[in-house]
Chains A and B, each alone.
Chain A
């Protein structure tokens, strides 16, 4: 544990709490993500994992607590501002711009850094021409990294599920993040697609120098790629540790399988 906690933290959450009326969806949630780590956030359904993601990205405001990104407070910022600072995410139920092409999906992610203003585009200045060309080239190169170049012109909704996931991850990376949040990336995938996904996650982590936090139910993914896990139940952190430690944690087994299951599972 100590080894993993070493080094500069990219994201630090301190006692983050979110109350929906009387319900504490997330309670005193603390998290520290060292630079370059790949951590997992697991827990039964309704544990508050996605809410935690929404708190980080600013989609819902915190009730109390803090979120720091690279040493700066980011709670209270608009989601688009959080993204522009360098946190990108994917969604549990894929949220592609489904009627647009794969190319446009990626080009939209470049909007904040398009390099030209609306005035340039209205007057069709040289800068518009040049930047738009660069942007398209960049997007195509980017798609090539994910072996998606061939389907750049396809409308996103016509793609098969696994491919849509790939496009969504590519699109999130096009925002040029240093922290990537993946919300159940393996949901609904077959074993082969899961294998590909795990390879993809390793690949992008090295290639783009990322810190990754992922929510996942597929134990194969969690145990296979995460270096460190945080387990939530009923909005609270019930355990932290390496996958090995978590596998044998009584509390975790209880949360997933119910009381008493720990003994039978151990035997």
Chain B
């Protein structure tokens, strides 16, 4: 029985990894309808599997589903970090901090909403929009004034963003007061208290959380990214510690009593709850307990995949790689190195913020200790494990990490004794050591697959790369 359970776990893991790679393969097809079909199929498959029953037992337990949620969020955070560290060469420990910011930001929005208060959504919404506009405005202004040192421009940006924030709070308070009657009372809920409204707010909260993390990363990254790589790493460590400290004291030194500081934030709506199949057979049973939980997780996963891949596979992405390879040469090629670093950092943090928002809404509970910088090494290890500069590798490592470490090893070691699962934290570092010895470039190096591969443009490129038929590509001097 228990061996069967173990075998089932392995099968499920392999199937899920096959699923995500099937998705990547399908998204990599040329035609738009092929991509669309893949997305629909992939969603239907995962949804069907989760809601399926085999011999009266749900195929995917709540535990399995949590693992999958974890894998998806980890893939998001790690993809963002790979952008910063793997593709742009900036060693950053701040990613986990942005993950935390995203989680708390989104949680606060939906928490307030369920308690009949629109201020979270409205203030953050105004904040990111006005903040973004302020950055654009100051950027335009600074472009006209040549040769402003980075710290002076930082001051301009900081003042602009703080001003935008104050305006957002003032505007947000006014608007949320005006919206308050829309929630109705406990006896007669208004239109804003409907489940549909909550779903919409959740969607916005995830986007806003990402944007908010991006905004913070901009203002943090601007002065700090001018540091050399090692010093930048230390500065980002500082950032991760600051975030955690602020979260621990969020109810005392920050004006967020609902976050309850170190005691942990309770009562976040579990929009992404695990699902259980209904008892009735057939389609009715299938849809009985359906919620958009997996639809959301899936939509945001695709969104992140598309953002990261489209960023890397563009002229800007190539510039990002150039900065990693050689900053001086990149500057001599007309690339704005400082601007490129900042842009990559902001995009990476945006993705981390989205990951955090997803995390908050399947856990339903947040505690600052999960955003400790020590835990922040996890995405770093995943990125190195999968291969710096390989998006495919990062996905593989994120899924493998969660399923192997939290799924398989925990179950396997659980058979040996109640304390045995702790051994997994000995086993995986050994695996990491072995990998570094055997394959220092990581599992996949810089190899990409399917959706993540660079698009070839026309047969000519292939021909040029392969050389004329029947002839070896010419080397130098020939």
Tell me how far the C-beta of A157 lies from the nearest C-beta in chain B, rounded to whole angstroms: 10
- Do B315 and A107 touch across chains, with their CB atoms under 8 A apart? yes
Confirm or deny: A222 has a beta carbon within 8 angstroms of a beta carbon on chain B: no
Q: Which of A89, A118, A137, A149 contacts B314, CB < 8 Å?
A: A118
The winner among B343, B455, B457, B464 for most chain A CB atoms within 10 A is B464
- Do B147 and A76 touch across chains, with their CB atoms under 8 A apart? yes
Q: Which of B325, B326, B460, B473 contacts A154, CB < 8 Å?
A: B473
Tell me how far the C-beta of B359 lies from the nearest C-beta in chain A, rounded to whole angstroms: 24
Q: Which bracket fits the contact residues of A?
A: 35 or more
For A103, list chain B residues within 8 Å (CB). 461, 464-465
B contacts with A, residue count (CB < 8 A): 42
Confirm or deny: B146 has a beta carbon within 8 angstroms of a beta carbon on chain A: yes
The CA-CA distance from A124 to B35 in the complex, in Å, is: 14
Tell me how far the C-beta of A76 lies from the nearest C-beta in chain B, rounded to whole angstroms: 5
Contact A107-B318, Cβ < 8 Å, known A80-B337, A151-B475, A153-B464: yes
B442-478: CB near A (< 8 Å → 1, else 0) gives 0000100000000101101100111100000111110
For A88, list chain B residues within 8 Å (CB). 332
Q: Which of B311, B333, B466 contacts A108, CB < 8 Å?
A: B333
Tell me how far the C-beta of B317 lies from the nearest C-beta in chain A, rounded to whole angstroms: 8
- The tally of CB-CB contacts under 8 A between chains A and B is 146
Give chain B interface residues in 327-342, CB to chain A under 8 Å: 328-337
Q: Which of A109, A118, A132 contacts B333, CB < 8 Å?
A: A109
Confirm or deny: B439 has a beta carbon within 8 angstroms of a beta carbon on chain A: no
A79-107: CB near B (< 8 Å → 1, else 0) gives 11001100011010001111110011001
Contact A111-B329, Cβ < 8 Å, known A136-B461, A151-B475: no
Confirm or deny: B271 has a beta carbon within 8 angstroms of a beta carbon on chain A: no
Q: Which of A111, A121, A159, A166 contacts B310, CB < 8 Å?
A: A121
The CA-CA distance from A97 to B330 in the complex, in Å, is: 8
For A171, list chain B residues within 8 Å (CB). 333
Confirm or deny: A162 has a beta carbon within 8 angstroms of a beta carbon on chain B: yes
Confirm or deny: B319 has a beta carbon within 8 angstroms of a beta carbon on chain A: yes
The CA-CA distance from A103 to B460 in the complex, in Å, is: 13
Confirm or deny: A110 has a beta carbon within 8 angstroms of a beta carbon on chain B: yes
Give chain A interface residues in 161-217, CB to chain B under 8 Å: 162-163, 166, 171-172, 175
The CA-CA distance from A191 to B321 in the complex, in Å, is: 35
The CA-CA distance from A163 to B476 in the complex, in Å, is: 6
Confirm or deny: A72 has a beta carbon within 8 angstroms of a beta carbon on chain B: no
Give chain B interface residues in 298-329, CB to chain A under 8 Å: 307, 310-311, 313-319, 321-322, 325-326, 328-329
The CA-CA distance from A84 to B334 in the complex, in Å, is: 6
Q: Secondary structure at chain A's binding surface: helix, strand, loop or mixed?
A: helix
A110-122: CB near B (< 8 Å → 1, else 0) gives 1110101010011
The winner among A91, A108, A109, A135 for most chain B CB atoms within 10 A is A108
The CA-CA distance from A84 to B336 in the complex, in Å, is: 10
Give chain B interface residues in 380-408, CB to chain A under 8 Å: none
Q: Which of A80, A124, A143, A150 contacts B334, CB < 8 Å?
A: A80
Contact A162-B476, Cβ < 8 Å, known A79-B331, A121-B313, A152-B465: yes
For A257, list chain B residues within 8 Å (CB). none
Confirm or deny: A133 has a beta carbon within 8 angstroms of a beta carbon on chain B: yes
- Do A98 and B313 touch across chains, with their CB atoms under 8 A apart? no
Tell me how far the C-beta of A173 lies from the nearest C-beta in chain B, rounded to whole angstroms: 11
A217-232: CB near B (< 8 Å → 1, else 0) gives 0000000000000000
- Do B464 and A97 touch across chains, with their CB atoms under 8 A apart? no
B409-453: CB near A (< 8 Å → 1, else 0) gives 000000000000000000000000000000000000010000000
Give chain B interface residues in 19-58, CB to chain A under 8 Å: none
Q: Which of A76, A137, A172 contacts B457, CB < 8 Å?
A: A137
For A66, list chain B residues within 8 Å (CB). none
Q: Which of B146, B329, B343, B477 contacts A163, CB < 8 Å?
A: B477
For B314, list chain A residues within 8 Å (CB). 116, 118, 121-122, 128, 132
For A57, list chain B residues within 8 Å (CB). 332
Tell me how far the C-beta of B15 lies from the nearest C-beta in chain A, rounded to whole angstroms: 30
Closest to A162 in B: B476
Tell me how far the C-beta of B423 lies from the nearest C-beta in chain A, rounded to whole angstroms: 38
Knowing that A132-B315, A172-B332 touch, tell me 18 more A-B residue pairs with CB under 8 angstroms.
A57-B332, A76-B147, A78-B336, A79-B332, A83-B332, A96-B325, A97-B325, A97-B326, A99-B446, A100-B321, A108-B335, A109-B334, A110-B315, A121-B314, A122-B311, A159-B475, A163-B476, A163-B477
Q: List 24 A-B contacts (CB under 8 A).
A: A59-B328, A76-B147, A83-B331, A88-B332, A89-B332, A91-B332, A96-B326, A97-B322, A100-B322, A103-B464, A108-B322, A110-B315, A111-B322, A112-B335, A114-B315, A118-B343, A121-B310, A121-B313, A122-B310, A132-B455, A152-B461, A162-B476, A163-B477, A166-B476
Please list the 9 inter-chain residue pairs (A to B) with the smallest Cβ-Cβ separation, ordered nearest first: A153-B465, A121-B314, A163-B476, A97-B325, A83-B334, A114-B315, A95-B329, A79-B331, A112-B334
Binding site for A on B (CB under 8 A): 146-147, 307, 310-311, 313-319, 321-322, 325-326, 328-337, 343, 446, 455, 457-458, 460-461, 464-467, 473-477
